[in-house]
Structure 1
Amino acid sequence: MSQRMKINDQITVGPQPDETEIATLVDDGFKSVVNFRTDGEDEQPISPDTEQRLVEAAGLRYLHLPVSMKSMDPKLVDEFRSQLEALPKPVFAHCKSGKRAGAMTMMHVAAEQGMSGEQTLQKAQQMGFECDQPELKEFVKSYVDQHAQSGA
């Protein structure tokens, strides 16, 4: 799984792991898995329910927070951020390719660090996230601008 991208010491994002890869997450020291895929999405190696069983059987915490481009809204990001607090770190967060997971985690980190929406998009680009959907770009930017902890 060479497409993993470490956001910081607490969060790494990437594409959805299959059964074998879930075991390697344990070996790699992860303590929790966050799945942003919606049930019934195309090309899922395993369903969210199966993934939950496998992740928990491996001794990791599991959070399923379905996000689609249509359902992405500030409340969902807030929910992710508050649930993230409670999860044992480090966390492996994924969607199908890592795009939604990357956007969600970047918004969290940026808001925590008081970055602007523009800075967030630049940092995401430097890290190799292709934010190729204008509506996703706009959403990330406005969320961060509204939630950045100024001076905190």
Structure 2
Amino acid sequence: MSRILIAASLCLAAQMGMAQHAPDHTATRASEGEVATTSTQLMNPRPGVYTAAQPGTNEWKSIKKRGITTVVNLRPMKEMGGRDEAKEVRAEGMSYIEVPIFTLQDINAVNAKKLKAALNAANGKPVLVHCASGNRVGGLMALMAALEEHMPAEQAIALGKSAGMQSSEARVRELLNAPKPAPAPAPAMAPIAAPTAAPTAAPTAAPTAAPTAAPAPASASSVNTPPAPPAPPKKD
């Protein structure tokens, strides 16, 4: 009996020890799911360049998994609300560059040149450029393509739209002297024939009054005939 109890105790101790040293696969799966999840949509307007709105603080790991090595932030420090994005990005081993665009007026030739330099600094490795919504990124990228890469204006504007440009398009067109093309006229419609009026009936002639008979001519005796003198009285 004692041997049975000792054997059971040893078996239980061995099971407890194995449980303590077993890997926590549940925690690993949760961690992997968190790394792979990203709510920020990354656009890819050209090879090696990604654009986006503001990524979340927990998205840099998954962004790095895309092969991105450099993050370019176009948001000024006052927009960041005290957030230290440079520290977040560098903690994941990526380079961090700021090109602050305060308003659409800062989409200009000087900052277009700065953006081009930031992309060149990555030495051909993937770069992420972001602002708050992607609008400033797309506008500055369009201007950079036109001024620094001598891309035709409409082609550069199309590139900017694919990178997130929206309201900044008017600013880019102004700087490139490329007014927005007039919309194509709507196809002309065939004229609609007016409905044909029903034929009107000919007017009915008024009935002709019967001719009245001419008055009979007066008798000859009644025309200018003096009255006869009275007969003389008879004598008895």
Q: Same fold (TM over 0.5)?
A: yes
Of 81, 88, 94, the match for 1:60: 94
Percent identical residues:
25
Return the TM-score normalized by structure 1.
Answer: 0.75
Deviates more, 1:15-24 or 1:110-119: 110-119
Of 97, 100, 104, the match for 2:136: 100
Q: Hey, what does 2:114 align to over in structure 1?
A: 79
2:157 is the counterpart of 1:121 = yes
| Structure with larger Rg | 2
Deviations 1:60-104 (Å, cap 9, x if unpaired)? Answer: 000011012132321111122123211252001100001111222
Superposed, 1:3-152 pairs within 5 Å as 3-41=41-79, 44=80, 47=83, 50-68=84-102, 69-88=104-123, 89-111=125-147, 114-125=150-161, 127=162, 129-133=164-168, 134-139=170-175, 141-142=176-177
Deviates more, 1:102-111 or 1:59-68: 102-111
In 2, are the aligned partners of 1:7 and 1:13 still within 8 Å (CA)?
yes
Gaps spanning 5+ residues in structure 2: where? Answer: 1-38, 179-236
CA distance in 1, matches of 2:171, 2:140: 14
Q: CA deviation at 1:142?
A: 4.8
Q: CA deviation at 1:129?
A: 3.8
Return the TM-score normalized by structure 2.
Answer: 0.51
Q: CA deviation at 1:2?
A: 5.3
In 2, are the aligned partners of 1:6 and 1:13 still within 8 Å (CA)?
yes
- Aligned-residue Cα RMSD (Å) equals 2.5
Q: Which has the higher helix share?
A: 1
Q: Secondary structure at the match of 1:70?
A: helix
